[in-house]
Amino acid sequence: MTTDTQPNPIGVHALVWAGDTGPSSIAFAVGKTKATGFDLLEISLHDSANLDVAATRDALKAAGLGVACSRGLAFDADVSSEDPAVVERGEKLLHDSLAATRALGGTHFTGEAQPYGMTLGLEICNRYETNVVNTARDALVLADDIGEDNVLIHLDTYHMNIEEDDFVRPVHEVGDRLGYVHVGENHRGYLGSGHLDFASFFHALADVDYRGPVTFESFSSAVVMRGLSNDLAIWRNLWSDGEDLARHARAFIADHLHTSRTR
């Protein structure tokens, strides 16, 4: 539950719990997300063919949880490709994913969102995952080119650690155009066990009065999603107990949000 000193919904990525979006996995992820005190569950739509959208929406509603959705595009569905067939495939995936996000009750996705009253979040990823948008400045240029009010910026500490000079300037540069945040360690394990300067990042969020979702994202070879884990090179078993990991992350994020706003 959020308060005046902690206005941000705190989320967790479903891959902390399960490697697919089948009915039993979704039920498990929703139950664990609620039990560990989060406000929001982020669902990757790489496995959307197995997702029962109506049942998932009902489960989220019953648990009182918000939802956000995400997906990347493989080379055979790259919308920046020079092959029209590849672009068409990517566009269909994005449109289908947008429709699924809306049906789930979500408001945050990457796609053509405005006709549905939704937010398009441009996630900034490192050079090993994309050559399109690697820094906050890149994302702002692209957002300006798109020229729509519902296009906001999605910062991720894992990617920022690789591409940005620090954790403060990009947040200040994005300012009120920041729409979504991923918090993850440099090795994508337990928060605070790596070398990232989370204190400066959360203080920067407070500086720009960011009040959107802050979602914990962590990957381990203990939980594998076909089509995503390999793409992200998740080879190391950084944790095996998702519940312990999630409880630690929830407390870590809440503490940093509170400290940054009450300094």
Instruction: Residue 16: give the domain boundaries.
Output: 10-261
pLDDT tens, residue by residue, 64-87: 999 999 988 888 888 888 999 999
In a domain, 4, yes or no: no
Q: Is the pLDDT of residue 228 over 50?
A: yes
In a domain, 2, yes or no: no
In a domain, 140, yes or no: yes
In a domain, 175, yes or no: yes
pLDDT tens, residue by residue, 126-153: 998 888 899 999 999 999 999 999 999 9
pLDDT at 114: 56
* Contact between 148 and 117 (Cβ < 8 Å): no
Task: Identify which of 180, 181, 191 has the alpha carbon closest to the alpha carbon of residue 249.
Answer: 191
In a domain, 5, yes or no: no
111 pLDDT band, cuts 50/70/90, is very low
Q: What is the mean pLDDT of residues 36-59?
A: 95
- 261-43-138 Cα angle (round to 5): 65
* Contact between 93 and 114 (Cβ < 8 Å): no
243 pLDDT band, cuts 50/70/90, is very high
Query: Rounded to an integer, what is the distance from CA 101 to the centroid of its chain?
Result: 13
110 pLDDT band, cuts 50/70/90, is low
Burial of 75 (0-12, 13-18, 19+ CB in 10 A): exposed
Residues 6 or more apart in contact with residue 47 via CB below 8 angstroms: 20, 21, 22, 225, 226, 227, 228
Residue 217 a catalytic site member: yes
Question: In angstroms, how far is the first alpha carbon of the chain from the final one?
Answer: 21
How many domains, the chain? Answer: 1
- The model carries a pTM of 0.92
115 pLDDT band, cuts 50/70/90, is low
| Active-site annotation holder among 42, 123, 164, 185 | 123
User: Which phi and psi angles does 42 have, rounded to 5°?
Assistant: -95, 130
Residue 123 a catalytic site member: yes
| Active-site annotation holder among 163, 164, 217, 243 | 217
In a domain, 107, yes or no: yes
CATH of the domain at 35: 3.20.20.150
Q: What is the mean pLDDT of residues 204-231?
A: 88
Q: Is the pLDDT of residue 119 over 60?
A: yes
